Amino acid sequence: MLTKMEEMQKDIKVLKAALLDEDEKITDIMPRPLSSIKALQQFEEQIDDALRKRLLNVLASLQGGSDAAQICRKIMRTCMTNGCMSQFSGTGQKGKARFMDTKLFTIVLGAGRKVKKKKKQISVEELKNEVFEVLRSAPNKPGGSNYMKKQKEKRRRCL
């Protein structure tokens, strides 16, 4: 019980700092989710060590989930649109860009590692697999490359 209270106090401190400090908002660092590979490359050119640390802390403070999958989905959707994610694969398969080589990948993994799940940290492999799963499912979500095709097929079947 005492350890749970201590964890909650730490979470409250992080949230309070994020709410009170204007510099630590995600909208100041990333005005909107990245929508293309070109936008991601431009953003990565602007990243220095101080900005990387701030972004890492802000993304970690989102803490939106009870497991690795929920945490990764929340962080990835904050950073990128489905259209952008559908242009990437984890290892660069099927003619897509390789997400593992980006600075954003290391930032997402670091933010995921900062979030603790029931007193234990989430392993890097588990986070990596969840990030790859988010990238795998992105084309079928709204804004993804296959989404419109699937919607048209559904309408044809209904008629």
The 10s digit of each residue's pLDDT in 8-35 is: 877 777 766 655 554 456 666 666 788 8
Average pLDDT over every residue of 116-131: 78
153: pLDDT strictly greater than 80: no
pLDDT given at position 119? 55
pLDDT given at position 137? 83
Nearest to 62 by CA among 27, 37, 97: 27
pTM beyond 0.95, yes or no: no
pLDDT tens for 69-120 read 787 888 888 888 888 888 888 888 888 889 999 988 888 888 887 776 655 6
Residue 38 to residues 22, 32, 41, 44, Cα–Cα distance (Å)? 28, 14, 5, 10
Give the whole-angstrom CA distance, residue 130 versus residue 73: 8
pLDDT given at position 51? 75
pLDDT given at position 148? 62
Longest dimension (CA), the chain: 60
pLDDT tens for 37-65 read 898 888 888 888 777 777 777 776 665 66
Average pLDDT over every residue of 126-148: 77
pLDDT given at position 81? 86
pLDDT given at position 149? 66
The pairing of beta strand 116-117 with beta strand 120-121: antiparallel
Which residues is 88 bridged to in the sheet?
97
pLDDT given at position 23? 47
